[in-house]
Copies of this chain bind each other. A is one copy, B any other.
Amino acid sequence: MLLGPGDDAAVLAAPDRRVVVTTDLLLEGRHFRRDWSSGYEIGRKAAAQNLSDIMAMGATPTGLFVGLGMPADTTVEWLDALSDGFRDECALVGAGVAGGDIAKSDTIVLGVTALGDLGGIAPVTRSGASPGDQVAVAGRLGHAAAGLALLSAGAVSDAFAELLLAHRRPEPPYEQGPRAAALRATAMVDVSDGLVQDLGHVAAASGVAVILDPGGFPVSAPLADAARQVGADPLDWILTGGDDHALAAAFPPEVRLPPPWRVVGAVAAGHGVQVKGRAEAPGGWDHFRG
């Protein structure tokens, strides 16, 4: 950060002569609830989803900008916790909040923008996947969706602490973004709306089909337990749940992928996303419908 908050605008270093930019709007009641998540958790999650978008391009975050709308009776404690959440999540990737804006609002509104630097590499877009590529995933899938389902069902218990926390505070596999670029990923996406939907964007942008193998998705014990508790199919959460901010990428077939990358399918000629053994691809989280 060359010039921080307190002027008309901030100045950030952009050593690569290109800057990667993403923006998200997070609204109370739609994207988070203050009775389900603390200010700290909301700050971490809001930062996480933007930082993850930067790293899904193969870039490294350089700064975050936060427009905050809030009711007049918002407590200083809540604001401090929100700010701490942003700070701690940014610190995971060596970035910080470099500027922002504040306004009075009836509910909490967060307009978050993240910037990143490509360090000389080509951005990994959604459009470079080719038939024959392997499709792989890094990070959790379905955990945040399970946590949300448990909260919605009022099934909050210590037995599900990990899943509840996954909803409140995603743990994107940040460093795997630039690492996938180094492993010659041909296309990459941040799984924010659900694996099938987000890979659908890759399929459409690349003009290919993505074939997923359900055998590539082992169901963890907590996920199986939670699914039984609320009467859901854990594979639905894995395939269509958003908010975990895993990374999904296509790689040339000859690339040997190190952990935590795990192969979950392949790219083929055609279009759309198919899940072997399922008649129809399930939907995902629709931003606007939500």
Contacts and interface: CB of A to CB of B under 8 A. Distances in A.
Interface of A: 2-3, 6-27, 30-31, 53-54, 56-57, 59, 63, 65-69, 72, 98-105, 109, 111-116, 118, 123, 125-127, 188-190, 205, 287-290
B9 A59 contact: yes
- 5 pairs of A and B residues whose beta carbons are closest in the complex: A111-B111, A25-B67, A14-B14, A9-B22, A113-B113
A205 B6 contact: yes
B125 A25 contact: no
Given A3-B125, A17-B14, A125-B3, A101 B25 contact: yes
B100 A23 contact: yes
A23 B9 CA distance: 8
Contacts of A112: 111
17 contacts: A8-B22, A8-B56, A9-B56, A9-B57, A12-B19, A12-B21, A14-B16, A17-B17, A19-B19, A21-B98, A23-B101, A25-B68, A25-B69, A25-B111, A30-B104, A102-B288, A104-B289
Given A19-B19, A23-B99, A67-B23, A9 B111 contact: no
A25 to B, nearest CB: 3
A7 B101 contact: no
Contacts of A65: 21-23, 113
Contacts of A114: 9
Contacts of A66: 23
Contacts of A19: 11-14, 19, 115
B21 A67 contact: no
A103 B11 contact: no
A23 B125 CA distance: 25
A54 to B, nearest CB: 6
Interface-central residue, A16, A67, A69, A111, by most chain B CB under 10 Å: A111
Nearest to A190: B8
A125 B189 contact: no
A15 B225 CA distance: 53
A104 B66 CA distance: 19
Given A17-B17, A65-B113, A109-B27, A22 B10 contact: yes
Nearest to A56: B8
Nearest to A188: B8
A9 B53 contact: yes
Given A9-B54, A54-B9, A190-B8, A63 B126 contact: no
Contacts of A100: 23
Which of A3, A9, A114 gathers most chain B CB within 10 Å?
A: A9
A109 B18 CA distance: 29
Given A12-B21, A21-B115, 13 more contacts: A3-B123, A7-B127, A8-B54, A11-B18, A11-B118, A12-B19, A13-B18, A14-B16, A15-B17, A23-B100, A25-B102, A30-B104, A113-B113
